[in-house]
A and B are shown apart, each in its own frame.
Chain A
Amino acid sequence: MKGEFLMTEPILRINNLHKKFKDTEVLKGVTLTVNEGEVVVIIGPSGTGKSTLLRCINRLTEPDAGEIYLGEHKIESAKSNLTKVRQRIGMVFQDFNLFNHLTALQNVAIGPIKVKKMNKKDALELAMRELERVGMADKAQNYPAELSGGQKQRVAIARALAMDPEIMLFDEPTSALDPELIGEVLEVMKKLADAGMTMVVVSHEMGFAREAADRIVFLEDGVIAEMGSPEKIFNNPEKERTREFISKIARLHGSDSEMPGTGS
């Protein structure tokens, strides 16, 4: 088990996070610590704030209350340090969000060039290595619109990796994919997890969660209802609600595929 080799240094600390959209309170006080090298998979019904939680971490969504620390660094929206913090956090979106006007290679290189001021030649070499890492080197010169969903998502992962982040956030990375394309993305993510990357993943991919996760967080109704090892959550949950939810997912699409339409 991967967990036995865990380093226990906390890298991400979320403390009592609250977020309201208009009258709907989406996050009602979430507290979560992620250790270095740990893979945390967040599951939960639609609309329980899974995506909002991830987006609050790098301030794409501004939380109403609560603190988030990356290492010792408190993440705030004082704009001077926000771009610095975001460089240290890789994010992978449900809809890929590759830059449409750039080739796969340029998509991966643009972060190092624009943000880290790396010279173009080095950045392109780095980008090529990252594309190789996700098995997309042969499509380096293709534009996003010429790639399949799975290929796009792999490039998006490479784009995030090129910034050499300390932690990677995955916001339902396979939910927009056709079933036959999910595997290639999960494979890349598993490889990444095995390589020791700290990851927070919002996903209902039970196969991935079982194999790669150190911890499963069951988020419901804006709070963490239960959390624990995959073994505990899948086989022996404390709460009836957790059991219901797990069996519902399993029933809907077996234990190894993504349930469509579970976006939140």
Chain B
Amino acid sequence: MGLINDKAFDVLRSIPYLLEGVGITLEITVIALVLGTIAGLFLALCRVYGGSFLHNFAVVYSRIIRSLPLLVIVFMLYFLGSEIINIPAFWAAVLALAMHTSAYQIEIFRGAIQSINKGQMEAALALGMSKYQSIFAVILPQSLRRAIPYWANEATIVLKDSAMAYVLGITELMRRSEYVSARTAQPMLTYIVSGLIYLIMTYAFTKSMAKVESKVRIPGLER
């Protein structure tokens, strides 16, 4: 019967335990995404519309963070934290992921903002809108729509990267998979199961973002 022996059954019985880890995985992902998106969008606006200081800050921040392996950022925050303010492992992981994704999201939102024809801004200014009003009433509603597929892709990367939190001993899906694999001595089956769980999550997310995208699509517009 190959796979379906007692130990394999052990793995299957551990699924509820793994699913509890999914909760933590999702918590890490969602919080990191929210923070990363806010920071990424803000810095993208700084990069495109800011004065030279804000512009340069966004450029340098993005370049440095994107040059570092996520794992390095995780450890940096964790040990920097333990030496100065003692960040709990959970928050070290969340902040590291948030920083990491924010740097990529700067580029996503920057591209989306710059892809809007400059005539849109001119028309808004010509009506008498302030630059601030023009950005929020005219540019962002259009560029955010364009950013959706790229942002959704980045979000699934964050979900998958959240597995990195396991190095800090956080009992999210990856960590629990390791426990189950050790206990049952069925690493392949265990990781196939957790792999499937990741797959289901990313698939469901991608599908629902595609729904959002088509829901907010501007009638008649190509993209």
The residues of A with any CB-CB pair to B shorter than 8 Å are 58, 60, 83-84, 86-87, 89-91, 93, 95, 97-101, 110-111, 114-115, 142-146, 156, 159-160, 163
B219 at interface, CB cutoff 8 A: yes
Q: Which residue in A83, A97, A146 is a CB contact (below 8 Å) of B128?
A: A83
Residues of A within 8 A of B117 (CB): 95, 97
Please state if B119 and A95 are interface contacts (CB–CB under 8 Å).
yes
Residues of A within 8 A of B124 (CB): 99
Bound-state CA distance A87–B122 (Å) is 13
Bound-state CA distance A86–B220 (Å) is 30
Bound-state CA distance A60–B219 (Å) is 30
Identify 17 residue pairs between A and B in the complex whose beta-carbon atoms are under 8 Å apart, listed by A's number. Answer: A83-B128, A83-B130, A86-B125, A86-B127, A95-B119, A97-B117, A98-B123, A99-B138, A100-B221, A101-B145, A101-B218, A114-B133, A142-B219, A143-B221, A144-B220, A156-B123, A160-B126
Q: With A143-B219, A145-B218, A146-B219 in contact, do A163 and B120 touch (Cβ < 8 Å)?
A: no
Residues of A within 8 A of B125 (CB): 60, 86
A86 to chain B: closest residue by CB: B128
For chain B residues 104-124, which have a beta carbon within 8 Å of chain A? 117, 119-120, 122-124
Residues of B within 8 A of A145 (CB): 218-222
Please state if B141 and A101 are interface contacts (CB–CB under 8 Å).
yes
B206 at interface, CB cutoff 8 A: no
Bound-state CA distance A160–B128 (Å) is 10
Determine how close the nearest CB of chain A comes to the CB of B174; give it in whole angstroms.
40
Q: With A100-B142, A114-B137 in contact, do A93 and B123 touch (Cβ < 8 Å)?
A: yes
Please state if B119 and A146 are interface contacts (CB–CB under 8 Å).
no
Residues of A within 8 A of B222 (CB): 145
Please state if A110 and B127 are interface contacts (CB–CB under 8 Å).
yes
Bound-state CA distance A160–B125 (Å) is 12
Determine how close the nearest CB of chain A comes to the CB of B79; give it in whole angstroms.
46
| Chain A, interface SS category | mixed
Q: Which residue in A89, A99, A143, A146 is a CB contact (below 8 Å) of B123?
A: A99
Bound-state CA distance A165–B128 (Å) is 11
Please state if B128 and A84 are interface contacts (CB–CB under 8 Å).
yes
Q: With A99-B138, A100-B142, A143-B220 in contact, do A89 and B129 touch (Cβ < 8 Å)?
A: no
| Chain B, interface SS category | helix
Bound-state CA distance A164–B36 (Å) is 43
Bound-state CA distance A126–B219 (Å) is 24
Please state if A97 and B137 are interface contacts (CB–CB under 8 Å).
no
Q: Which residue in A86, A95, A101, A110 is a CB contact (below 8 Å) of B126?
A: A86
Residues of B within 8 A of A58 (CB): 126
Q: With A87-B127, A91-B126, A115-B127 given, name 12 new contacts (CB 8 A).
A: A83-B130, A86-B125, A97-B122, A99-B142, A110-B127, A111-B128, A114-B129, A115-B129, A145-B218, A146-B219, A146-B220, A159-B127
For chain B residues 137-165, which have a beta carbon within 8 Å of chain A? 137-138, 141-142, 145
B141 to chain A: closest residue by CB: A101
For chain B residues 48-77, which have a beta carbon within 8 Å of chain A? none
Bound-state CA distance A111–B221 (Å) is 22
A159 to chain B: closest residue by CB: B127
Residues of A within 8 A of B126 (CB): 58, 60, 86, 89-91, 93, 160
Bound-state CA distance A234–B145 (Å) is 50
B122 to chain A: closest residue by CB: A60
A95 to chain B: closest residue by CB: B119
Residues of B within 8 A of A95 (CB): 117, 119
**Closest 3 interchain pairs by CB?**
A145-B220, A87-B128, A97-B123
Q: Which residue in B119, B133, B221 is a CB contact (below 8 Å) of A97?
A: B119
Bound-state CA distance A91–B121 (Å) is 13
Residues of B within 8 A of A142 (CB): 219-220
Q: With A60-B122, A97-B117, A145-B220 in contact, do A163 and B142 touch (Cβ < 8 Å)?
A: no
Determine how close the nearest CB of chain A comes to the CB of B192; give it in whole angstroms.
44
Residues of B within 8 A of A83 (CB): 128-130
Bound-state CA distance A96–B218 (Å) is 17
A60 to chain B: closest residue by CB: B122
Residue from A84, A111, A114 having most chain B Cβ neighbours under 10 A: A114
Please state if A99 and B129 are interface contacts (CB–CB under 8 Å).
no
Residues of A within 8 A of B128 (CB): 83-84, 86-87, 111, 115, 163
Determine how close the nearest CB of chain A comes to the CB of B117; give it in whole angstroms.
7
Bound-state CA distance A160–B122 (Å) is 13
